[in-house]
A and B are shown apart, each in its own frame.
Chain A
Amino acid sequence: MYLLRRAWAELANEVFVLPSRTLVLAWALALLALPLVYDDAYALRILTMTCLFAIFAASWDLLAGYTGQVNFGHALFFGAGAYTSGLMSQKLGVSPWLTIWAGAAVATLIGFLAGYLCLRLRGSYLSLATLAFPLIALGLLFAVPEFSGGELGISGLRRLATTPTQNYYVAALAMLAVVFGLWLLADSKFGIVLHAIRDDEVAARASGINTPRYKLVVFALSAAAAGFAGALFAHYIRVAGPSTLEVALSFQVVIWGIFGGVATIYGPVAAVFILYPLTEWLGSFKAVGELRLLIFAVIVLLVLLFMPRGLTPWVRDKIEAQCPRCKQRNATWRKMCRLCGAALKAEVARAQRLVGHQ
């Protein structure tokens, strides 16, 4: 009873006070409850894919958003996870439940290596060097076709679960766990250090932060999550092929990340949950099915014109405001700050009068 009351108090004080957190909770619950009320194989397949890509997008955000290392070759880690897990379960006959961890582990290693190679690179140089990595990997895979399956990839992989609902739960639970984990990490002291590195690496180093070590760790962590997503993906569609390393996939994740809003973790996830089903839905119409990518690109462009920082920061600014005194966030409809009691609206209005509208 005490625990229940304690949990409720936590919920009320930490979650319900902020509309954005309430929204996230509702979304997570809806995801978990969905198969109970709407058990449709096709919808579940789309949502399974969505969940897997959401992990992938969130992992990109940790690297690109928080430390500013805009990775143009994130597919490298996705593909590494997919191929490792696929090869191990296929050639060694290990259960996919074990190999997905191996996939994540190998991806971590490759992430570490890629991060090491990229330590001295900055900005655009880093983006473009990383763009090359998956393409080099692709060349190597084609060089050993009897091992990698060449352009066919490794097919007929064993699956993690049999029914659509089970597969969906595997993906959804993995997604919730990984994304929540990444969010906690990014919101912790560790995340603050990453912000500092992105905003001013020299200052961060001057403050005694070992920036190369942090960058390496982030590369490895981000790669681990991406590799995990790739491994799950391979066992879900049962093929680990060269398409997991293509430039298109690397670009796709950049679009998701920036569309949703970088350095948020939840932003890219939201972007995947909006954009992936949307394109699929467009594809189901005869008239516009073959135009889906065009419509997708136009929507991305239009949204960006109105919300250049991405979708979720824009939405968050609409429903929440920052307290001018203690900098905590509050629902926009509150008059007083929930923590320090400072007046919200009047203050903001006066402040704006003073400094001029920006």
Chain B
Amino acid sequence: MLQDILVTGLVNSGVYALLAVGFSLIFGVARIVNIAHTAFYMLAAYCFYALLVKGGLGFALAGAIAVAAVTALSVLCYRLVIEPVREHEAAVLIATIALALIFQELMLLFFGGSYLGIPSTLEGMVRVFGVSIPYQRLLILVVAALMLTAVWFLLYRTRLGLAIRATANDLEVANLMGMNVHRVAMATVAISVALAAVAGVVVAPVFVVDPFMWLAPLVTMLAIVVLGGLGSMKGSLIGALIIGYVEAITVFAVPAGAYLKGAVALLIMVVVLLVRPEGLFGVAFEEER
């Protein structure tokens, strides 16, 4: 049972980590509470589905187009909807909720409410310690690791990353230092949504695609990002591992309580927040004003 928990927990965490990186970036770094983040993930999944299954394109081409299209759409949405109301935090919040609802209803309109399946990019499975892991899950683990490294590299080793961090730290000073803060924000949005889109292309094949698929991961992602601490890549990774393992342990310890795994994960988040209100690796903004 121990080896089952170890392997399953890791496999689960891979999915969550991949979903959480982009979220952590836009949420922690650009300080935009983007409820529509997982809606972009859903759009990428649908786009990938349409190109792959209906359009008959190959995996690589369909995936690339889906990521590019969704990223372009996010920039458009940012310019048209978010930027004009950027000053009003509440308005940004509801604008992203409205965007998510619009995407959901559009997909409902185009594809109907039925569940769709995306073929796996990699078929087959491997046995580790007597536990079978489909290759697609391994792919997710690899892509998640790549994405985490890439984001870390981007934030800490490039000029754009420096600009993003500076803007996140103090928008006004960054502006005064001659940075085009609007463009930096746009770049952040684009990068973060691109990550969501990659997640949609890689993760969606293990799940079921439907117009409401953005809600469940949204809640889990929020839990992970908050648990790990807003804006901390390391935090998101650890958060994903914790949630992944908590869920696995719940299922193995109380089989008849498997439905509780979501609630238990959220409970863990709340408990962590009670002990450390800024999350595990978040920066404590002491009385931020």
Q: Do chains A and B touch in the complex (CB under 8 A)?
A: yes
Cβ of A166 under 8 Å from chain B: no
Chain A interface: which of B52-60, B118-126, B144-152, B274-282?
B274-282
The size class of the interface chain A forms with chain B is: 35 or more
From B101, which residue of chain A is reached at the shortest CB distance? A297
State whether B219 touches A301 (Cβ < 8 A): no
Name the interface residues of A253-306: CB closer than 8 Å to any CB of B. 254-255, 258-259, 262, 290-291, 293-294, 296-298, 300-301, 304-305
From B222, which residue of chain A is reached at the shortest CB distance? A128
State whether B223 touches A132 (Cβ < 8 A): yes
Number of A-B contacts (CB under 8 A): 124
State whether B226 touches A128 (Cβ < 8 A): yes
Q: How far is the CB of B153 from chain A (nearest CB, A)?
A: 26
State whether B270 touches A254 (Cβ < 8 A): no
State whether B102 touches A291 (Cβ < 8 A): no
Chain B interface: which of A96-104, A138-146, A156-164?
A138-146
Question: With A125-B273, A304-B85, A309-B88 in contact, is A200–B289 under 8 Å at CB?
Answer: yes
Cβ of B170 under 8 Å from chain A: no
Name the interface residues of A209-260: CB closer than 8 Å to any CB of B. 247-248, 251, 254-255, 258-259
Cβ of B267 under 8 Å from chain A: yes
State whether A129 touches B101 (Cβ < 8 A): no
Cβ of A124 under 8 Å from chain B: yes
Cβ of A135 under 8 Å from chain B: yes
Which B residues touch A127, using CB under 8 A? 33
Give Cα distance in the complex from A355 to B25, angstroms.
39
State whether A122 touches B266 (Cβ < 8 A): no
State whether A135 touches B263 (Cβ < 8 A): yes
Give Cα distance in the complex from A139 to B219, angstroms.
14
Cβ of B73 under 8 Å from chain A: no
Question: With A121-B277, A132-B219, A258-B94 in contact, is A294–B270 under 8 Å at CB?
Answer: no
State whether B93 touches A122 (Cβ < 8 A): no
State whether B219 touches A135 (Cβ < 8 A): yes
Question: With A202-B287, A301-B95 in contact, is A125–B259 under 8 Å at CB?
Answer: no
Cβ of A120 under 8 Å from chain B: yes
State whether A139 touches B109 (Cβ < 8 A): no
Cβ of A80 under 8 Å from chain B: no
State whether B27 touches A124 (Cβ < 8 A): yes
State whether A121 touches B105 (Cβ < 8 A): no
Contact of B278 among A125, A128, A142, A304 (CB under 8 A): A125
State whether A298 touches B94 (Cβ < 8 A): no
From B106, which residue of chain A is reached at the shortest CB distance? A294
Give Cα distance in the complex from A304 to B81, angstroms.
9
State whether A138 touches B85 (Cβ < 8 A): no
Question: With A140-B263, A201-B287 in contact, is A254–B94 under 8 Å at CB?
Answer: yes
Per-residue CB proximity of A101-142 to B under 8 Å, as 1/0? 000000000000000010011111101110111011011101
Cβ of A70 under 8 Å from chain B: yes
Cβ of B257 under 8 Å from chain A: yes
Cβ of B97 under 8 Å from chain A: yes
State whether A259 touches B94 (Cβ < 8 A): yes
Question: With A117-B274, A125-B273, A202-B289 in contact, is A247–B219 under 8 Å at CB?
Answer: yes
Which B residues touch A293, using CB under 8 A? 101, 104-105
Which A residues touch B95, using CB under 8 A? 301, 304
Question: With A122-B288, A139-B263, A308-B91 in contact, is A296–B101 under 8 Å at CB?
Answer: yes
Interfacial residues, chain A to chain B (CB-CB below 8 A): 70, 117, 120-125, 127-129, 131-133, 135-136, 138-140, 142-143, 200-202, 247-248, 251, 254-255, 258-259, 262, 290-291, 293-294, 296-298, 300-301, 304-305, 308-310
Interfacial residues, chain B to chain A (CB-CB below 8 A): 27, 33, 35, 81, 84-85, 87-88, 90-91, 93-95, 97-99, 101-102, 104-106, 109, 215, 219, 222-223, 225-226, 230, 257, 259-260, 262-264, 266-267, 269-270, 273-274, 277-279, 285, 287-289
A-B contact pairs, 22 of them (CB 8 A): A70-B90, A70-B93, A117-B270, A120-B274, A124-B226, A125-B230, A128-B226, A133-B270, A135-B263, A136-B266, A139-B262, A139-B263, A200-B289, A254-B97, A258-B93, A262-B90, A291-B109, A294-B102, A304-B91, A304-B98, A308-B84, A308-B85
Closest 7 CB pairs of A and B: A139-B263, A294-B105, A132-B266, A297-B101, A120-B277, A258-B94, A308-B91
